[in-house]
Copies of this chain bind each other. A is one copy, B any other.
Protein backbone atom coordinates (compact mmCIF):
# COMPACT_ATOMS: atom_id res chain seq x y z
CA UNK A 1 0.00 0.00 0.00
CA UNK A 2 1.36 3.41 -0.93
CA UNK A 3 0.34 6.73 0.51
CA UNK A 4 -0.21 9.65 -1.81
CA UNK A 5 -1.05 13.34 -1.46
CA UNK A 6 -0.23 13.42 2.21
CA UNK A 7 0.57 17.02 3.22
CA UNK A 8 4.22 17.76 4.06
CA UNK A 9 3.03 19.14 7.39
CA UNK A 10 1.49 15.78 8.31
CA UNK A 11 4.72 13.99 7.41
CA UNK A 12 6.67 16.47 9.54
CA UNK A 13 4.42 15.75 12.52
CA UNK A 14 4.75 11.95 12.30
CA UNK A 15 8.20 11.92 13.99
CA UNK A 16 6.75 14.10 16.76
CA UNK A 17 4.04 11.50 17.37
CA UNK A 18 6.60 8.73 17.16
CA UNK A 19 8.70 10.39 19.86
CA UNK A 20 5.62 10.81 22.05
CA UNK A 21 4.72 7.13 21.62
CA UNK A 22 8.25 6.01 22.47
CA UNK A 23 8.25 8.22 25.58
CA UNK A 24 4.87 6.81 26.65
CA UNK A 25 6.15 3.30 26.06
CA UNK A 26 9.23 4.01 28.22
CA UNK A 27 6.84 4.93 31.02
CA UNK A 28 5.16 1.54 30.82
CA UNK A 29 2.07 2.47 28.77
CA UNK A 30 0.65 0.05 26.22
CA UNK A 31 -2.16 2.14 24.75
CA UNK A 32 -2.85 5.84 24.52
CA UNK A 33 -5.78 8.09 23.56
CA UNK A 34 -5.33 10.88 21.02
CA UNK A 35 -6.04 13.32 23.88
CA UNK A 36 -3.25 11.88 26.04
CA UNK A 37 -0.86 11.71 23.09
CA UNK A 38 -1.75 15.35 22.40
CA UNK A 39 -0.65 16.25 25.94
CA UNK A 40 2.61 14.39 25.41
CA UNK A 41 3.57 16.10 22.17
CA UNK A 42 1.87 19.49 22.33
CA UNK A 43 -0.32 19.08 19.23
CA UNK A 44 -4.14 19.37 19.18
CA UNK A 45 -6.01 16.03 19.48
CA UNK A 46 -8.11 16.83 16.37
CA UNK A 47 -4.92 17.46 14.42
CA UNK A 48 -3.55 14.07 15.50
CA UNK A 49 -6.75 12.28 14.47
CA UNK A 50 -6.77 14.13 11.15
CA UNK A 51 -3.12 13.29 10.46
CA UNK A 52 -3.68 9.61 11.28
CA UNK A 53 -6.78 9.48 9.08
CA UNK A 54 -4.55 9.63 6.00
CA UNK A 55 -3.24 6.19 6.83
CA UNK A 56 -6.44 4.34 7.56
CA UNK A 57 -7.63 3.14 10.93
CA UNK A 58 -5.00 3.25 13.64
CA UNK A 59 -7.15 3.15 16.76
CA UNK A 60 -10.38 1.93 18.28
CA UNK A 61 -12.71 4.57 19.62
CA UNK A 62 -12.74 4.60 23.42
CA UNK A 63 -9.79 2.23 23.74
CA UNK A 64 -7.09 4.40 22.20
CA UNK A 65 -4.12 3.49 20.07
CA UNK A 66 -1.98 0.44 20.62
CA UNK A 67 1.40 2.11 21.17
CA UNK A 68 3.66 -0.62 19.84
CA UNK A 69 1.58 -1.18 16.73
CA UNK A 70 1.23 2.52 15.97
CA UNK A 71 4.95 3.25 16.49
CA UNK A 72 5.83 0.39 14.17
CA UNK A 73 3.40 1.66 11.53
CA UNK A 74 4.75 5.24 11.67
CA UNK A 75 8.31 3.92 11.36
CA UNK A 76 7.24 1.92 8.32
CA UNK A 77 5.55 4.93 6.70
CA UNK A 78 8.64 7.08 7.29
CA UNK A 79 10.90 4.25 6.08
CA UNK A 80 12.74 4.31 9.38
CA UNK A 81 12.29 0.56 9.85
CA UNK A 82 15.16 -0.27 7.52
CA UNK A 83 17.94 1.54 9.47
CA UNK A 84 19.21 4.74 7.88
CA UNK A 85 22.82 5.79 7.56
CA UNK A 86 23.64 9.49 7.41
CA UNK A 87 26.74 11.58 6.74
CA UNK A 88 27.63 14.87 8.42
CA UNK A 89 29.42 17.61 6.48
CA UNK A 90 31.04 20.36 8.57
CA UNK A 91 32.36 19.53 12.03
CA UNK A 92 32.36 22.97 13.65
CA UNK A 93 30.47 23.81 16.84
CA UNK A 94 27.14 22.89 15.30
CA UNK A 95 28.44 19.75 13.60
CA UNK A 96 30.06 18.55 16.83
CA UNK A 97 26.80 19.14 18.66
CA UNK A 98 25.05 16.97 16.09
CA UNK A 99 27.61 14.16 16.30
CA UNK A 100 27.14 13.96 20.05
CA UNK A 101 23.36 14.50 19.89
CA UNK A 102 21.60 11.71 21.81
CA UNK A 103 18.37 11.92 19.82
CA UNK A 104 19.16 10.11 16.57
CA UNK A 105 19.05 6.58 17.96
CA UNK A 106 15.34 6.49 18.66
CA UNK A 107 14.58 7.14 14.99
CA UNK A 108 16.81 4.32 13.79
CA UNK A 109 19.43 6.74 12.48
CA UNK A 110 23.12 6.29 12.47
CA UNK A 111 25.63 8.98 11.55
CA UNK A 112 28.39 6.83 10.10
CA UNK A 113 30.59 9.42 8.38
CA UNK A 114 31.77 12.98 9.02
CA UNK A 115 33.60 15.38 6.72
CA UNK A 116 35.41 18.68 7.14
CA UNK A 117 37.57 20.95 5.02
CA UNK A 118 40.00 21.79 7.84
CA UNK A 119 43.17 19.60 7.67
CA UNK A 120 43.58 19.97 11.44
CA UNK A 121 40.26 18.23 11.99
CA UNK A 122 40.68 15.50 9.39
CA UNK A 123 41.75 12.25 11.10
CA UNK A 124 40.37 13.25 14.49
CA UNK A 125 37.80 11.00 16.09
CA UNK A 126 34.47 12.04 17.61
CA UNK A 127 32.26 9.28 18.99
CA UNK A 128 34.07 6.55 17.03
CA UNK A 129 33.75 8.47 13.77
CA UNK A 130 36.96 9.54 12.07
CA UNK A 131 36.62 12.90 10.35
CA UNK A 132 37.44 12.68 6.63
CA UNK A 133 38.44 15.30 4.10
CA UNK A 134 35.55 16.70 2.04
CA UNK A 135 37.24 15.41 -1.12
CA UNK A 136 36.07 11.98 0.09
CA UNK A 137 32.41 12.91 -0.27
CA UNK A 138 32.37 11.05 -3.57
CA UNK A 139 32.79 7.77 -1.67
CA UNK A 140 29.29 8.13 -0.20
CA UNK A 141 27.63 6.41 -3.14
CA UNK A 142 29.80 3.32 -2.76
CA UNK A 143 29.16 3.33 0.99
CA UNK A 144 25.39 3.44 0.34
CA UNK A 145 24.85 6.57 2.43
CA UNK A 146 21.88 8.50 1.03
CA UNK A 147 21.23 11.08 3.73
CA UNK A 148 23.42 14.03 4.64
CA UNK A 149 23.37 16.72 7.30
CA UNK A 150 25.03 19.96 6.20
CA UNK A 151 26.46 22.15 8.97
CA UNK A 152 28.72 24.33 6.83
CA UNK A 153 29.07 28.13 6.49
CA UNK A 154 26.45 29.50 4.10
CA UNK A 155 29.16 30.73 1.73
CA UNK A 156 29.96 27.11 0.82
CA UNK A 157 26.46 25.65 1.26
CA UNK A 158 25.63 25.49 -2.45
CA UNK A 159 28.91 23.89 -3.51
CA UNK A 160 28.61 21.37 -0.68
CA UNK A 161 25.08 20.52 -1.80
CA UNK A 162 26.33 20.12 -5.38
CA UNK A 163 29.00 17.68 -4.20
CA UNK A 164 26.41 15.72 -2.23
CA UNK A 165 24.07 15.51 -5.20
CA UNK A 166 26.98 14.26 -7.30
CA UNK A 167 27.58 11.58 -4.67
CA UNK A 168 23.97 10.39 -5.14
CA UNK A 169 22.68 11.74 -1.84
CA UNK A 170 18.86 11.68 -1.85
CA UNK A 171 18.01 13.74 1.22
CA UNK A 172 19.73 16.76 2.76
CA UNK A 173 19.11 18.39 6.10
CA UNK A 174 20.49 21.90 5.59
CA UNK A 175 21.41 23.85 8.70
CA UNK A 176 22.87 26.86 6.90
CA UNK A 177 20.70 29.95 6.89
CA UNK A 178 20.24 29.96 3.14
CA UNK A 179 18.30 28.40 0.31
CA UNK A 180 20.09 25.73 -1.71
CA UNK A 181 19.15 24.63 -5.21
CA UNK A 182 19.09 20.90 -5.95
CA UNK A 183 17.50 18.65 -8.60
CA UNK A 184 13.87 17.70 -7.95
CA UNK A 185 14.73 14.12 -7.03
CA UNK A 186 16.63 15.34 -3.96
CA UNK A 187 14.62 16.41 -0.91
CA UNK A 188 15.99 19.27 1.18
CA UNK A 189 14.80 20.32 4.61
CA UNK A 190 16.31 23.59 5.83
CA UNK A 191 16.40 24.44 9.50
CA UNK A 192 17.37 27.98 10.41
CA UNK A 193 17.42 28.48 14.15
CA UNK A 194 17.25 32.27 13.81
CA UNK A 195 14.23 31.91 11.59
CA UNK A 196 12.43 29.69 14.07
CA UNK A 197 13.15 32.20 16.80
CA UNK A 198 11.73 34.94 14.58
CA UNK A 199 8.23 33.45 14.98
CA UNK A 200 8.17 33.79 18.74
CA UNK A 201 7.60 37.54 19.24
CA UNK A 202 4.37 37.25 17.25
CA UNK A 203 2.85 35.23 20.07
CA UNK A 204 4.08 37.50 22.82
CA UNK A 205 1.86 40.05 24.55
CA UNK A 206 2.67 43.66 23.71
CA UNK A 207 4.45 45.17 26.72
Q: What is A's interface to B at a CB cutoff of 8 Å?
A: 9, 11-12, 14-16, 18-20, 23, 40-42, 77-80, 82, 84, 86, 92-94, 96-98, 100-104, 106-107, 109, 146-147, 149, 154, 170-173, 175, 177-179, 185, 187-207
Contacts and interface: CB of A to CB of B under 8 A. Distances in A.
A9 to B, nearest CB: 6
A205 B170 CA distance: 8
Nearest to A108: B198
5 contacts: A77-B202, A86-B197, A92-B97, A107-B198, A191-B196
B198 A80 contact: yes
Contact of A202 (B11, B19, B149, B202): B11
Interface of A is mostly: mixed
Nearest to A99: B93
A125 to B, nearest CB: 16
A198 B42 contact: no
Contact of A12 (B84, B199, B204, B206): B199
A175 B102 CA distance: 12
A147 B194 CA distance: 12
Contact of A100 (B18, B93, B104): B93
